[in-house]
Amino acid sequence: MSALDTVLVPINREGYRFIAIFAVIAFVLFQITEPLGWLGVILTAWCAYFFRDPERVTPTRDGLIISPADGVVQMIERAIPPEELGMGNDARTRITVFMNVFNVHVNRVPMDGTITKVCYRPGKFFNAALDKASDQNERQAIRMTSSGGKDIAFVQIAGLVARRILCEIKEGQEVKAGFRFGLIRFGSRVDVYLEDGIEALVIPGQQTLAGETVLADAGSDEARRHGEVR
């Protein structure tokens, strides 16, 4: 990859109309006063930055569970998956990745496999960093069976600012790890529920890249990792 490629990042098609709207607003502001116009230019540039959609290099070994979102690992704890997915009432390890408004917001599939259930549930718009957001916020929950037979789930959750969840995969669809499947506007989180016996290989506070960072390994018996700020 050249230095130019790192600057000229592709824009997700969902962003074009928003960028156009911001550009029109900037033009109108220029007619009012130049300082406001330049503010509009800055906001238009930020909108283009928000909808960037860079290519990612996805690890392809069987059993790897890849982060579906850019952001920071906020929590790793035991929790019951969304009831609409029909995964029972037993708690599983849940890895929460929180996205702020400066992260890439294109979401990617965590494993190779088959999508077995896709459920949308309307809800509130609490700050996505709060634990109650998993239960009460608007969400798009997805269950899948990996090519290795593992039953996992990943959930797009709207946040305080996010008002639109886009999910483009369907039940019965065969998918690959790293496959782009959706996007959330503008700041939110994604929860990943692991099957019992699979330990997280990331730690709270760690930065993740969608389609690249390994969250867990279904083929490993490595114990849960710990870390510290250095």
Q: Which residues are designated catalytic?
A: 188
- What does the block give as tokens for 92? 């599983």
Which residues have CB under 8 Å from 17's CB, separation 6+? none
What does 9-38 look like in DSSP terms, one character per residue?
PPBPGGGHHHHHHHHHHHHHHHHH-HHHHH
1: exposed, middle or buried (C-beta count within 10 Å: 0-12, 13-18, 19+)? exposed
Instruction: Please answer whether residues 208 and 195 qualify as being in contact, where contact means their C-beta atoms are separated by less than 8 angstroms.
Output: no
How many residues in the chain? 230
